[in-house]
Amino acid sequence: MTATERTAVCFDLDYTLVDFDQRFDEICRDALATELDPVTDEAVEALLIALGDALDDQVADPYESAVGAACEEAGVDADHAILRDRLQDEEFAATSVAAPVREALSTLAEDEDLVLCVLSNGHDEVHDLDGYVDHVVTSYDAGGTKASGEPYALLRERVDADRYVMIGDDYEGDIEAAREAGFVPIHYEETDGPDFFATLSAML
């Protein structure tokens, strides 16, 4: 890479920049327990499936839609807004950003030839990483998930760069779709852990 090249470095959010300290099905179970007693496996499964579908379909309030499906499965007339808020709170509380991630982003942010971006299929909440990130593009912004390619096209419209790099854990959305969109894909796996981010600056 020459000194004059401008590179957009894009990161997936969940399970790449942000770690989950608790399994998502457990997060869902804890959230549902505020209104449902007992919380059945079927209700948790209904919530998981409905949330994934709602995000894929760009439902305006995917969390409320999903908890509604869980309540319907459980046969309970609960307050969907309360459950939605609790689920979002539980999810945020269960996430963390590892020190090597922060250190890598801090180092990369100092490079004037790099533009740091987040590409996410979900929300635009980037934890407390907004101090490092220049642009955030979500599937809701683009009108389609990463697998559709639309977030990549929108990122290209917003960020003028000589090359585009995508780093993420999901092979379909973060690797195959990125490659199809002309991005250089880098597959991050959970087993890579801190070592990946410790060497990321050298890779770029």
191 has pLDDT over 80? no
Residue 77 — very low, low, confident or very high, per pLDDT cuts 50/70/90? confident
DSSP element (H, E) containing 57? none
The mean pLDDT value for 170-180 works out to 96
**pLDDT score, position 202:** 75
**pLDDT score, position 13:** 92
**pLDDT score, position 2:** 47
DSSP 8-state assignment for residue 114: E
Could you give the CA distance from residue 175 to residue 142 in angstroms, rounded to a whole number? Answer: 18
Strands (E), the chain: 7-11, 19-20, 95-96, 114-120, 135-138, 163-168, 184-187
The CA-atom distances, in angstroms, between 49 and each of 44, 69, 80 are: 9, 9, 17
What does the radius of gyration of the chain's CA atoms come to, in whole angstroms?
18
Per the CB < 8 A criterion, the answer to whether 117 and 137 are in contact is: yes
CB atoms within 10 A of CB 176: 15
**pLDDT score, position 3:** 55
The mean pLDDT value for 73-78 works out to 87
Q: DSSP 3-state assignment of 165?
A: strand
Indicate the residue type of 33. A
Instruction: Write down the pTM of the prediction.
Output: 0.88
Which backbone phi and psi does 98 adopt, to 5 degrees?
Answer: -70, 150
Highest mean pLDDT among 7-16, 75-84, 187-196: 7-16
Tens digit of each residue's pLDDT (9 = 90 or more) over 109-164: 999 999 999 999 876 677 788 889 999 999 989 999 999 999 999 999 999 999 99
Could you give the CA distance from residue 111 to residue 16 in angstroms, rounded to a whole number? Answer: 21
- The CATH 3.40.50.1000 portion of the chain extends over 7-18+97-203
**pLDDT score, position 1:** 46
Q: Check: CATH 3.40.50.1000 for 7-18+97-203? A: yes
Identify the residue whose tokens are 């917003």: 158
**pLDDT score, position 198:** 80
Could you give the CA distance from residue 56 to residue 140 in angstroms, rounded to a whole number? Answer: 9
The mean pLDDT value for 167-183 works out to 96
The mean pLDDT value for 79-101 works out to 91
Tell me how many degrees the CA angle 11-157-119 measures, rounded to the nearest 5: 20
Tens digit of each residue's pLDDT (9 = 90 or more) over 5-51: 899 999 999 999 999 999 999 999 999 998 888 899 999 999 999 99
